[in-house]
Amino acid sequence: MRKHKSAKLTAALAGLALTAAACGSSGASTGASSSAKAPAHITIGTLYSGSGSYATSSQPQLAGLEFWISHENAKGGAYVGAYHKRIPLKLVDYNDQSSSSTAAVQYNQLITQDKVNILVSDFGSVLTAPAVTIAEEHKVVLFDPTGTGTSFFTPGNSYIVLTSLPTSGVWPDPLVSFIEHEKISRVAIVYDSNDFDASQATTIKDGLTKAGITPVVYEAVPTSTTSYGTIISTVAAKHPQAFLELGYPTNDIPFLQNLQSSGDHFGMVFTAFPGQLHSLLESNVGEKGLAYTFSYGFPPQISSSKVSEGMTTARFVSAFGHGKASNVNFLDVAGYQAGLVIEEALAHASSLSQSALRAAVASQSGKLHTLDGSFDINSEGAQLGERLPVSQMLPANGATTTKIGIVYPASAANTAVTYPAP
């Protein structure tokens, strides 16, 4: 089990004493009897990727979850409604090294050997996939921060809750509308052959087809793809106005690097992760490689000043990011958001049974509003709230970094769009 905390989390802990009183739990009471002996602690089990393809996304998600745990423990623990008291939280975490096969073994260990009260999946659909099956088999609720593959959510499985993002099949709805709004008729789509990216690609293709637009390129590539030179040349020959590349950071980075060196130019270039991991993408691609490209919009760029639980965006940036927005990315928020959903489940459940926890989560759907937006799930545990606008990376007055502007829809926009890109 991992012994050390991240440097970012260590810095954040200094501010916990100042924020604990202002950001208390709902403290909701239930009708359950408190006569039964309360456990010494509530055990939360999760995985993280200490190395490999998903490490740069997994570790900030874990840091956000750790931050929430530390914040609650600074108050004496999370409020557990079944016992009418706060109970300390204990984290058990294992390094899956970005391997889904290793993750499968470790998820099983968390359930059968560590007997955790709360199970939280690692980052993304690839590393969440084994947890979905294992949790359902053991009838354990899986709190899923960012595994957004649409196939995880089925009528027969009541043991999963998507806490921090909508399913990836609905991510591109605003993007499709934006393409129509800008009267873009020639679109190229290259996507990784995994459920996360394929579901986005399907939604985009179906939405464009409904609008009378047939993509000029619609191609799946292996998720392991790191060389895009030939792909870019093939797409450029089709003369698209918009080039959408749907992958993970390990795909987006080489794609944008190869695009910059290719000399090819497109009026619109879209990738999924600059909006989530802006600093990571820019440090690898550079300001010129990222400028004027598009992505999805995420917190903390989408700011919330009114919440029903947890910290506002500004307070989270202050406490977690040590006062600097550049120190916070969406996956930090996603991990923290998972903690807030767990907090509500513990506060409102009639017992610590898995069925009671799942019922408590359902009872808070549509009522919980956080820095991540409105938490709203359907009966399958899929997230319906927290829709993602379209963002654009724009040069910041000659600086060596870009700024993220929300450009669509109009109701969310804070920046004018630049299309086509210069």
C-alpha span between 72 and 340 (Å, rounded)? 10
Taking the complete model, does pTM exceed 0.95, yes or no?
no
Q: Is the pLDDT of residue 416 over 60?
A: yes
Q: In the predicted model, what is the mean pLDDT of the chain?
A: 91
Looking at residue 279, its amino acid is S
Q: Residue 414 domain-assigned?
A: no
Residue 30 has a pLDDT of 37
Query: Same structural domain for residues 243 and 145?
Result: no
Query: Same structural domain for residues 158 and 177?
Result: no
Residue-wise pLDDT for 263-277, tens only, equals 999 999 999 999 999
Q: Residue 58 domain-assigned?
A: yes
| Tokens linked to 192 | 């990784």
Q: Residue 283 domain-assigned?
A: yes
Query: Same structural domain for residues 208 and 236?
Result: yes
Query: Same structural domain for residues 153 and 180?
Result: no
Query: Same structural domain for residues 80 and 223?
Result: no
> Are 164 and 193 contacting, i.e. CB atoms less than 8 angstroms apart?
no
Question: How does DSSP classify residue 19?
Answer: H
CATH code, domain with 214? 3.40.50.2300
Query: Same structural domain for residues 296 and 321?
Result: no
Q: Residue 421 domain-assigned?
A: no
Lowest mean pLDDT segment, chosen from 115-119, 166-170, 234-238, 394-398? 394-398
Q: Residue 380 domain-assigned?
A: no
Query: Same structural domain for residues 31 and 159?
Result: yes
Residue-wise pLDDT for 146-157, tens only, equals 999 999 999 989
Residue 398 has a pLDDT of 63
Task: Give the number of domains in the chain.
Answer: 2
Query: Same structural domain for residues 319 and 206?
Result: no
Q: Residue 381 domain-assigned?
A: no
Query: Same structural domain for residues 198 and 159?
Result: no
Q: Is the pLDDT of residue 54 over 90?
A: yes
Q: Is the pLDDT of residue 375 over 90?
A: yes
Query: Same structural domain for residues 243 and 318?
Result: no
Q: How far is CA 353 from the centre of its chain?
A: 27
Query: Same structural domain for residues 261 and 397?
Result: yes
Domain residue limits at 88: 7-168+302-375
Query: Same structural domain for residues 204 and 131?
Result: no
Q: How far is CA 235 from the centre of its chain?
A: 29
Q: Residue 53 domain-assigned?
A: yes
Residue-wise pLDDT for 69-88, tens only, equals 999 999 999 999 999 999 99
Q: What mean pLDDT do residues 383-393 have? A: 90
Residue 84 has a pLDDT of 97
Residue 94's closest CA among 105, 81, 85, 83?
105
Residue-wise pLDDT for 294-317, tens only, equals 999 999 999 999 999 999 999 999
Q: Residue 211 domain-assigned?
A: yes
